[in-house]
Structure 1
Amino acid sequence: MRKMIILFLVMSVSACIPPGRDNGWPQNEAAQEAAPTLATDISVFGQSPADAPPPTWTAQTVTPNAMTIEDGIYTVQAGDTLRGIANKTGASSQIIAAENGLAAPYIIRPGQRLNITGGRYHWVNGGETGIAIARAYGVPWREVVALNGLEEPFVLRVGQKLLLPAEAPVDPQALSIEQRAASFDLDIDDIMTGSQPALAEKVAAEEPSDWRKAIGPVKTPPAKTPAVIAVPAAFTSQFNWPIDGKLISSFGSKGGGKVNDGLNIAVAKGTPIRAAADGVVAYSGDEIDVFGGLILLNHGDGWVTAYGHADKLHVTRGQKIKAGDIIGLAGDSGYVQEPQLHFEIRKNRKPVNPVSHLPTRT
């Protein structure tokens, strides 16, 4: 059954400044009860099911059932492994390794004393995404990334434990969906680092620890293993303009703490949006309210392009795209009052001035 996503457009502006910056835009205060995880149904922008490519995976609902453990010291016993110690203590093996200066292959010796970092840990289940986990607890995903030292390609594994921010509510289940939504915000970087589904590994099939059993029933991974988006090996082409129109907002500071991470180009509603270069669709949806319909293309070598305010989305996550392909139609979705395209180019997750990487317009 397809889920209906209710869009709340709380304000309109003439040019789009992304959230998560010191720009004065209000945070999203509307709960999206029907969409607790990433939207994969692109028909919400008017595309018929017959035209829409099938989603690459189905996002799993996340239950906020983290367990809190105390800081402590663990003395290594004969036969212990780092993963086994993590299961015994309830802490993350990655954090134990980082806290104690352990590097691969993580050799430990009997009698060795290891510092155990306390806090609230979430056990990752099959198909869960980082963004869905963050939303379930009402915490910023970017803080979870920093706390756990997550790095590219940002793929979680079943059984992995994620340390949650300490300032988050102790009992997220005591909060309403509206309260959790109000404390949760999302930006393009979150999509790039937190939208991959957790994958099962051989170790995940082992008997769960007593710590895990104490949380509650263990979810089994989906019958069909979710697909991780394959990143292009390298960026081998050049960027082209995705649309032809009047530039109404340039890249950079706009004063008063407002920053535009891309370009805004005025066009007629329904104007085709074309891929600026070859790539793979990393995201196609509407979960970042300020952008409305948004498409992210991964081009390899750390290059990503973003296309916002689309009226219709013609691609879905995981789809391979060639430069010049029509990926959607321009519109006025999101926080704008006239049809336009918000276009960004990012290198290693940081916005760069698109004009510096595009052909000169005549």
Structure 2
Amino acid sequence: MVIGELLGSVLATGVLGLPGALFQPGLPGTKITVDAPARKGWVLYTVQPGDTLSQIAHRYRVDARAIMYSSGLESPSLRPGQVLRIPLVDQASSSVRLPPGVQAYTVRPGDTAQSIARRFDLTLLGLVSANPELKSLDRLEVGSTLYIPTAEPGLIVRLRPGETVQDLSRRYGLSITAIARANQLSSPTEVGPGDLVLLPGIQARTTYERLLRIQEAERKAREEERRRLAEERRRQEEARRRQLAERQAQLRAQSQPQLRRANAVVAAAGYRWPMTNFTITTYFGRRGVFQRFHTGIDLAAPVGTPIYAARAGVVTVAGWSRSGYGLHVVLDHGGGQETLYGHMSRIAVRPGQRVERGELIGYVGSTGWSTGPHLHFEVRVDGVARNPLAFLP
């Protein structure tokens, strides 16, 4: 019965132990004020033809024995016109009745249906049967309650308003005796709406199979999400590497701006490589903390490999060097520019001779301060050594 209907019965029959209403019929302008219904009290109910004690108890959601005790009845038999004193108790203050052998378990972080079933030595089907309202086997809400059957297994259902043990008996094909024995009921009226009832031997197989399908779908969704995230991380890593490579290329380009400009200028001015087949083994610049500054580039090649003039000029030096170059040649190209060719095995020009670009001037050797056959090639501008790579095409 809803609060409005209950309040109507209270006003029509009178209440013992409940605040009444200030009601004065027939007086014009009288204000009627009704207090909020009390949480505890009694309703005086007049028995109607066809009423039974169990029906009235179910209607008011109270124990039939409580009505008998409050009304001074010695038997559950009723007669029309009889006045009953029905005790009312706020349902929020009453606790849900659990079947014997069933305990409530509060879900903890990290729990799954499988882990809880293992903890209490249950099958997964047994746990689902005890909790047929489960929405997922893996996604359990922390703090929610699961019911654990520790004695007889079966399906646990919550009694709905208006539903009786007889209804459960007919629906699931169980005898009332079997349900009463499993739930230790001496009377069907001992359970009411919201109470849990154990139906022995019944399994929620359809719910179990549905949850297994949901679990598989969730597993596939998680796997797909992992693949998506892995692919996203891979693309991000590739993008990061490309950006790093581009940044490094930019830094290298920014560190040699004069070299690129010089290449364009000097290539037009007629410089060329002094050999056709070689390997660069040492570059221009500082080679180490304890090594001398390298004033040119070293081009490794077999002894006797021809060496050509990098640019047209006049031979100013052709002979032995006392400073480590061994047999070497120096060409003056005018405008303060010179090239030096060191460690030759044999010289093919003489001082004062005019040579053209690409003309033979000697052969690769390992004379002077040398650790192997190679050409030491230098470019000097106004007597200062410059990076030869800036003057070669």
The structure where helix makes up a greater share of residues is 2
Which TM-score applies when normalising by structure 1? Answer: 0.34
Q: Which one has the largest radius of gyration?
A: 2
Which TM-score applies when normalising by structure 2? Answer: 0.31
Task: Pick 1 or 2: higher relative contact order, CA cutoff 8 A, min separation 6.
Answer: 1
